[in-house]
Amino acid sequence: MKHKIIVAGLIISGLFSSCEQFEEGYLETPASSSLEASVIFSTAGLAKGAVDGIKVPFAETNSYRGRFLPYYGLNTDVEWYNTSQSAGDKADLVVYDAKPNNTEMNTSNNAYSMMFQGIERANICISGIRQYGNPLAGSEMGQLLGEALTLRAIYYADLIKAWGDVPYRFAPMTNATIYLAKTNRDDIYKQLIADLGEASTLVAWPNQTAYTSTVEHVNKAFVKAFRARLAMAASGYQLYPGSFGGVRRSTDPELSVDKMYALALKECREVIQSGSAKLEPTFEGLWKKYNQEITTAGGESLWELPFADGRGRMLFTFAVKHTTNDQFHANGANRGGVAGPLPFVFYDYDQTDLRRDVTCVPYKWGTAVNNIAKQELSTLDTWSFGKYRYEWMSRFVTSTNDDGVNKMYMRYAEVLLIAAEAANELEGPAAAAPYLKEIRKRAFPAAAQAIKVDAYVNALTDKQAMFNAIVEENKYEFTGEMERKQALVRWNLLKVKLDEAKAKMTDLKARTGSYADVPSTLYYKYAADNVSLVVYGLNRGENVNPGADYTSATWTKLEDTKIASLYKAGVDPDMRQFWPIWQVFIDGSNNMLWNDYGY
């Protein structure tokens, strides 16, 4: 059963109503809390309600739920919005052409504002617990302070990756701090890394306490892993504004590659050595467990952005498409399928890679007849992410707007790949090899591992070759999780890989180059259940008609206009790594906020 965030009723809600939303933050008003902060933050049960309240902005209508998660992270060299070629404000958000007045985003309750609301809630909790809670390591108050610090870091990390430089707010708002200008994100990264260092000393390992028995609460494995992720991002390439701007690494010596990679490697190795998290035995089992909403800590999921059953849109947006209500859900018509893998991704996987058919799905669910839908072939240019499936849920969804499935924010596989990348840079390919092998062992059946795991990794004796392999492994492991964009940015590969993806799609369309042996005709029939498709012709070289009981279908639809829509013509994605700050926040900032990068 999923944990529900329940703030302690009116006792706690007044604490946060003392700060009303105002543009990029809040307008201070007299506090209306029915209990004083000294009581709330000296009482563990009340303080827990307040810390849970930090999570509430995640699920607000135009926050993560309906705006940030559905759009941020598309389009990359592996994922895209399936209607990127359609002109409009939705597509503009993903084709690197968002405008400050984008109608999907330019509202005062947008994710940008909700993130700052979450930060303000966290600031109040952090200040209160420090002042009144005696938050010692290993204590309940220490756990709550560590969680508040981590939740604030989550909001800030997502602000930075979406908007770049933003205001620095690490204390509860006062009349003097209503309006703040943007701060160099390097300063924010340093604060977040320090905060997570402190949090890691306060929170328990997964399943060390009852509180950390669920991945809907923060635990030490996640804090350390998240700190490693931020260290890699902070030292990576990114677009900076101003006369010394452009795509570059930070010039702050505290954020140097040597220091940040060493920190990341240390944190990852401590998580690995703790044994407190692990890869799920099978890749398909991982995603079935996710869709079944099993949130027990100690497995691969390190922390999940928690949604109640009737809130959140992960399947609503990203699941294999369902045309109507059917035997698997009553979530409404045309749910899922908004985004999917690029059409060549399926063919880039090794045919024996067990991740391929979980990640890339070439069908949708058709119109239900007597409430039963069948699978139907999609088109070459419109695949679905198979990691998200109503048909794998244990709960029958009946809400017409939400599915309630969590966002898996970070998983143990990323710990292994960060460790591999940092070890390769600092210690060489031999140090990276064990981590890469562990990822690939799960990806391939036992009979293939001598070649696909051991021989493949052992041949990576050059640092650049190992790095290139890690970039590819990230692709095979994380397609559909919308983590790729930030990785491409920090590797300085965003435009390079987007252009490479366009070239691959052009070759796939023409069946030339690396895609010359991809069939142009598929053959399908229904399995014994008369619902599931049996498809021949998806694999390279499957060109012979398998028999009269199969129906043929062309597998060629991939137009030049759609290929070109991966990013807007005339736009340089490297110069559009961030969204603009929306106009409503610029207008209400008392001239303290502005947009860079030519917006």
pLDDT per residue over 13-44, tens digit each? Answer: 556 654 444 334 333 333 444 478 999 999 99
Q: What is the pLDDT of residue 26?
A: 35
The rounded distance, in Å, linking the Cα atoms of 166 and 183 is: 6
- How many angstroms separate the Cα of 180 from the Cα of each of 120, 175, 243, 585? 14, 11, 22, 12
Which residue bears the tokens 């929306």?
Answer: 582
Query: Mapping DSSP to helix (H, G, I), strand (E, B) and coil, where does residue 146 land?
Result: helix
Q: Is 513 left (phi over 0), alpha (psi -120 to 50) or beta?
A: left
Residue 403: inside a domain: no
The length of the chain is: 599
Residue 390: inside a domain: no
Which residue bears the tokens 């943007």?
Answer: 182
Residue 199: inside a domain: yes
**130 and 146 in contact (C-beta within 8 Å)?**
no
Q: What is the DSSP letter of 66?
A: I
Residue 322: inside a domain: no
State both tokens at 419: 């460790």
**360 and 528 in contact (C-beta within 8 Å)?**
no
Which residue bears the tokens 């610090």?
Answer: 149
Please name which of 155, 164, 188, 189 lies closest in space to residue 247, comparing C-alpha atoms: 164
The rounded distance, in Å, linking the Cα atoms of 300 and 281 is: 10
The rounded distance, in Å, linking the Cα atoms of 106 and 101 is: 5
Q: What is the pLDDT of residue 429?
A: 98
Query: Mapping DSSP to helix (H, G, I), strand (E, B) and coil, where does residue 136 land?
Result: coil
Provide the b/e sequence for 432-456 (b: ≥16 CB within 10 Å): bbebbbbbbebbbeeebbeebbeeb
Q: What is the pLDDT of residue 244?
A: 86
On the 0-12 / 13-18 / 19+ scale of CB atoms within 10 A, 533 is: middle
Q: Where are the alpha helices (DSSP H) in 248-298?
A: 257-274, 283-291
CATH of the domain at 231: 1.25.40.390
Task: Please tell me the total count of domains within the chain.
Answer: 1
**342 and 487 in contact (C-beta within 8 Å)?**
no
pTM to 2 decimals? Answer: 0.95
The rounded distance, in Å, linking the Cα atoms of 85 and 71 is: 15
The rounded distance, in Å, linking the Cα atoms of 550 and 522 is: 9
Residue 114: inside a domain: yes
State both tokens at 23: 């543009």
Q: What is the pLDDT of residue 14?
A: 58
Q: Where are the alpha helices (DSSP H) in 203-256?
A: 220-235
**422 and 265 in contact (C-beta within 8 Å)?**
yes
Q: What is the pLDDT of residue 400?
A: 86
Q: What is the pLDDT of residue 15?
A: 66
Q: Which domain holds residue 147?
A: 37-250+579-588
Residue 423: inside a domain: no
Residue 148: inside a domain: yes
Which parts of the chain sit beneath pLDDT 50? 1, 3-11, 18-34
Q: What is the pLDDT of residue 8?
A: 38
Query: Mapping DSSP to helix (H, G, I), strand (E, B) and coil, where does residue 389 land?
Result: coil
Provide the b/e sequence for 160-199 (b: ≥16 CB within 10 Å): bbbbbbbbbbbebbeeeebbbebebbbebbbbbbebbeeb
Segment holding 152, helix H or strand E: helix 140-163
Residue 214: inside a domain: yes
